[in-house]
Amino acid sequence: MCGIVGYVGPRDCSDVLVSALTKLEYRGYDYAGIAVFENGKIEVAKSKGRLSDLVAKMEKEGKPKGHAGIGHTRWATHGEPSDVNSHPHSGRRVTIVHNGIIENYKDIKKFLIENDRTEFLSDTDTEVVAQLLDFYYDGNPIRCIRKVLHEIRGSFALGIVFADRPETVYAVRCESPLIVGQGPGEAFIASDVPAIIKYTKDYYLLEYGEIAVLKNGSVSFCDFHGRMVEKELKTADFDEDSAEKGGFEHFMIKEIHEQPTAVKTTITPRIEDGLPNLSECGITKETLKSFNNIFIVACGTAMHAGMVGKYVIEKLARVSVTVDIASEFRYRDPLLNTDDLVIIISQSGETADSKAVLNLVKEKGAKTLAIVNVKGSSIAREADMVIYTHAGPEIAVASTKAYMVQLSVMYLLAFEMAFAKGKITEEKCRRLTSELQKTPEVIEKAIGLSYNCQYISTKLITADSLLYIGRGLDYALSMEGSLKLKEISYIHSESYAAGELKHGTISLITEGMPVIAVATQTSLLEKTISNIKEVKARGAMTIVICDDEAEFDDEVADHIIRIPKISEMLMPMVATVPMQLLAYYTSVNKGNDVDKPRNLAKSVTVE
């Protein structure tokens, strides 16, 4: 839930840290800070609020000047966002930044107080670690770090500087992701590659239980036992442009526009001779045939992609699919057998609850398949099989292109599984695959509907509350439409199965309340239209998203968004676009911070 950076090299360290933090602000934006060696002394600058508040503060009061240091942007977990709770935190000779949670910090604090260490300024778990490092520091940083690592519990990554080790940065990974960038004569640490892509594409992935030492522009590694570790240098497969807004006003709208390419890049390498082929992901036809039950477990948007997956896999492959929220699944003692498949979907590959589910499922002996966007992330590395989505870096907190590529993978998987199980013919599998290959073009056309969505969004900005309704795949899709809208527009929104409304929820309808009906499933159109009529008759302002051939009495809709038609089963990939655009423009019209909605962070690495 936060971003760590560090730098050692010839450049102005404060500038590098701020620039890298800008790319990590999506991970948390309650406060920010840096610590830099200036003339051999650690100088700290920190502030609550956005990174821009820290920059403004440094412009006024002066920035630390030096060539080595660490920095941090954070989503508050312990204590309210305030200057004093901002990272970096210091002991007498040690300053640290921290991503994650220290579970036993209260016990450690008690231990330190019992040993006359009472100078705590903040409410954070991080300061306790800084004090513990200082308590054990005997002039040997690695020995001290190792000792502390054996005492603290939790999931975390740390950036550390010792006052008597100028121009040197130490980094530790225990669960929370951390990479070490290497450029000529300079080295970096960061929670994510886009933070340093401006400076270098070469990086090492720090593994669980490893410590990195950045000194004189070079890097060395050891494990928690102090043994030296040799690591493979990796090269990022994207460049600075992909991590920039590229002329768009917000990352979210840029990412909406990137969807056709993202889908193409994700599906093309997995289609061979007109048929899906997931063998490069370690998934054979034999494996696909062997599963009796499938569980899809994820959080938020990724879980919504799983809902679409359920409909499609069950319909085509005739396998029972249960979709679960990761934070529920992990505590409900699920019934799992060794011939079950558990699919974990995650953009970041680091979501704490999804990661916990993966560990639980592995203990129970079921097979795991990860569908993940971030290469080398924990979930991707720990699952039995992995399908990488190729959306490129997704920066906006509200997920768009990651969801779209997750859908495309759900389809590929459903098609191949159905064919492998003999539930569809080769001809049908080819036809479906070929339809899927056409989706990038259709998505492109749907993005062209921006103007209409922009106009309709002006009708939503005064609403306190609204409903998204749909049936079948449209219901699965409306869950995502509703989440997207509420997370960035701050308008209360719920998604409902259209047929369920009359069992209670319809009592919420008042004059002018917006109801957005997703009606792309031709086979269910008549039924959905009846439900739209029911809410319209009670005063709702109805907005209907349907295909451009749908025939119904236009009077039921106050506003219509007609999208290009493709096969009914694939319509979610098209219909999701207007829902994203409605959310985006409503948020823009309300003057909200579209890319960094309040109280949220991109990567949820705490429970």
Mind telling me the catalytic residues? 2, 602
Q: Which is nearer to ligand AGP, 191 or 399 (CB)?
A: 399
Does 582 bind ligand AGP (CB under 6 A)? Our answer is no
Q: What is the largest CA-CA distance in the chain?
A: 80
Nearest Cα to Cα of residue 212 among 248, 182, 239, 251: 182
Does 397 bind ligand AGP (CB under 6 A)? Our answer is yes
Does 301 bind ligand AGP (CB under 6 A)? Our answer is yes
Q: Which is nearer to ligand AGP, 146 or 602 (CB)?
A: 602
Angle at alpha carbon of residue 456, lines to 404 and 249, rounded to 5° = 60
Contact map string, positions 537 to 556, toward ligand AGP, x by CB under 6 A: --------------------
| Shortest distance (Å) from residue 397 CB to ligand AGP | 5
Q: CA-to-CA distance for 67 and 87, rounded, in angstroms?
A: 19
Q: Which stretch binds ligand AGP (CB under 6 A): 71-79, 298-306, 309-317, 357-365?
A: 298-306
Q: CA-to-CA distance for 95 and 159, rounded, in angstroms?
A: 8
Q: Which is nearer to ligand AGP, 25 or 487 (CB)?
A: 487
All residues at 6 or more sequence positions from 399 whose CB lies less than 8 Å from its CB, including other chains: 300, 301, 302, 347
Does 378 bind ligand AGP (CB under 6 A)? Our answer is no
Contact map string, positions 315 to 334, toward ligand AGP, x by CB under 6 A: --------------------
Does 580 bind ligand AGP (CB under 6 A)? Our answer is no
Q: How many CB atoms lie within 10 A of CB 80?
A: 11
Q: CA-to-CA distance for 494 and 486, rounded, in angstroms?
A: 9
Element (H, E) at 90: strand 89-90
CA 544 to chain centre: 29
Q: Which is nearer to ligand AGP, 302 or 383 (CB)?
A: 302
Work out which of 321, 387, 398, 443 binds ligand AGP, going by CB under 6 A: 398
Q: Which stretch binds ligand AGP (CB under 6 A): 66-74, 267-275, 300-308, 453-461?
A: 300-308
Side-chain half-sphere CA neighbours of 174 within 13 A: 20
Work out which of 108, 212, 302, 477 binds ligand AGP, going by CB under 6 A: 302
Does 576 bind ligand AGP (CB under 6 A)? Our answer is no
Residue nearest to ligand AGP (CB): 300
Q: Count residues contacting ligand AGP (CB under 6 A)?
A: 15
Does 300 bind ligand AGP (CB under 6 A)? Our answer is yes
Q: How many residues are given for the chain?
A: 607
Q: CA-to-CA distance for 576 and 259, rounded, in angstroms?
A: 11
Work out which of 528, 604, 605, 606 binds ligand AGP, going by CB under 6 A: 604
Residue with tokens 């995650």: 346
Q: CA-to-CA distance for 414 and 319, rounded, in angstroms?
A: 10
Does 297 bind ligand AGP (CB under 6 A)? Our answer is no
Does 371 bind ligand AGP (CB under 6 A)? Our answer is no
Phi, psi of 426 (to 5 degrees): -60, -40
According to DSSP, the β-strands at 31-38 and 68-74 are antiparallel
Does 299 bind ligand AGP (CB under 6 A)? Our answer is yes
Q: CA-to-CA distance for 466 and 454, rounded, in angstroms?
A: 17
Contact map string, positions 332 to 361, toward ligand AGP, x by CB under 6 A: --------------xxx--x--x-------
Let me know: does 146 contact 224? Beta carbons within 8 Å: yes
Residues 469-528 that bind ligand AGP (CB under 6 A): 487
Q: CA-to-CA distance for 418 and 421, rounded, in angstroms?
A: 5
Q: CA-to-CA distance for 494 and 500, rounded, in angstroms?
A: 13
Q: CA-to-CA distance for 309 and 259, rounded, in angstroms?
A: 18
Does 181 bind ligand AGP (CB under 6 A)? Our answer is no
| Shortest distance (Å) from residue 351 CB to ligand AGP | 3
Q: Which is nearer to ligand AGP, 16 or 299 (CB)?
A: 299
Q: Which is nearer to ligand AGP, 441 or 593 (CB)?
A: 593
Return residues touching ligand AGP (CB under 6 A): 299-302, 346-348, 351, 354, 397-399, 487, 603-604
